[in-house]
Amino acid sequence: MHYLIYFDFILIFLYNINMKTLIVNKKYDNKKLNNFILDSFPNLSQNTLFKALRKKDIRVNDKRVSENVTIYENDEIKVFISDELLEGKLNLNIIYEDDNILVINKSTNLEVTGDNSLTTILEKKYTFIKPCHRIDRNTTGLVLFAKNQEALDILLDKFKNREIEKHYLATVYGIPKVKKIRLEAYLFKDNKKSIVYISDTPKTGYQKIITSYKVIDENKKDNTSILDIELETGRTHQIRAHLAHVGYPILGDGKYGINEINKKFNQKTQLLQSNSIKFTFKTPSGILEYLTGKEIKL
């Protein structure tokens, strides 16, 4: 892949991948938002709509709303719900599949697990399907699933023993002086606030994290870079928080990024993609022995 082309592409395309814009017509003037959206998308479940409202994934005239507000003719409604859930279709982007595993290219605005998630969508097609790891709702890219219990047990063990290598691509603000580095720090997860904190020194309640990156492209004009990232640990929000902590926030990251910079680039979803999974098995792997050394990439 040519990374300069990729850089331009990801900036203008990723955010719009699951956004629908609607204009309120006269029929729904002075009516409730929910009725308009459900009528516009007959396959959308009320549960998914309520969840989107709770997460403020619906905007009225570019203002986030969290309740069933009244709308008026010519209002602009933006709906940030995955196409799979919005249209009720199994539009799965399968990158690799065999009798034991499935690798999906997950779109943005879609969780891996939970209600109305990628897993629940897959469960409509497969008798057994379990995710072996997770990526954030607004992180795109590869997710590995097991299609039977034996494969699941093996893969979970391989992840635990670091015999599966995962790489991510991130577009960050800033150009690192050190082009390749292995970072160690400590992470604390605040479940109540749904946020994590990073410390350079050990603290009570903090877990050690290791994040490595190398710079693969630079844009000096915009002061941005594309990083190839490898995780040795897989904590919640690790990449996003760790990069922000060392001064290179991911573009579009509303939680750990810089709002002024995100607005400058008109980027509202983090430019982070899970783009490579490599099976670096060093110990016996049973029915999955054939995967040893195999790499699956976008």
CATH topology of domain 168-274: Pseudouridine synthase (3.30.2350)
Share of the chain above pLDDT 90, in %: 72
Is residue 58 a contact partner of residue 37, using CB atoms and an 8 Å limit? Answer: yes
Strands 272-279 and 140-146, by their bridges, are parallel
Known catalytic residues?
136
For residue 2, the model assigns a pLDDT of: 43
Tokens 């603000």 locate to: 173
Instruction: Locate the domains of the chain by residue range.
Output: 13-83, 94-162, 168-274
Report the C-alpha gap between 250 and 161 in whole angstroms: 28
Question: What is the residue-wise DSSP string for 182-236?
Answer: EEEEEEEEETTTTEEEEESS--TT-EEEEEEEEEEEEETTTTEEEEEEEESS--T
Segment 213-248, tens digit of pLDDT: 999 999 999 999 999 999 988 899 999 999 999 999
Segment 164-189, tens digit of pLDDT: 999 999 999 999 999 999 999 999 99
* CATH number given to 94-162: 3.30.70.580
**Does the pLDDT of residue 15 top 70, yes or no?**
no
Segment 285-298, tens digit of pLDDT: 999 999 999 999 99
For the whole model, what pTM was predicted? Answer: 0.76
- CA 261 vs CA 50, 243, 248, 264, 288: distances in Å: 30, 15, 12, 5, 44
Class of CATH domain 13-83: alpha beta
For residue 82, the model assigns a pLDDT of: 80
Segment 51-73, tens digit of pLDDT: 889 888 899 999 999 999 999 99
Q: Could you give the 3-state DSSP secondary structure of residue 18? A: helix
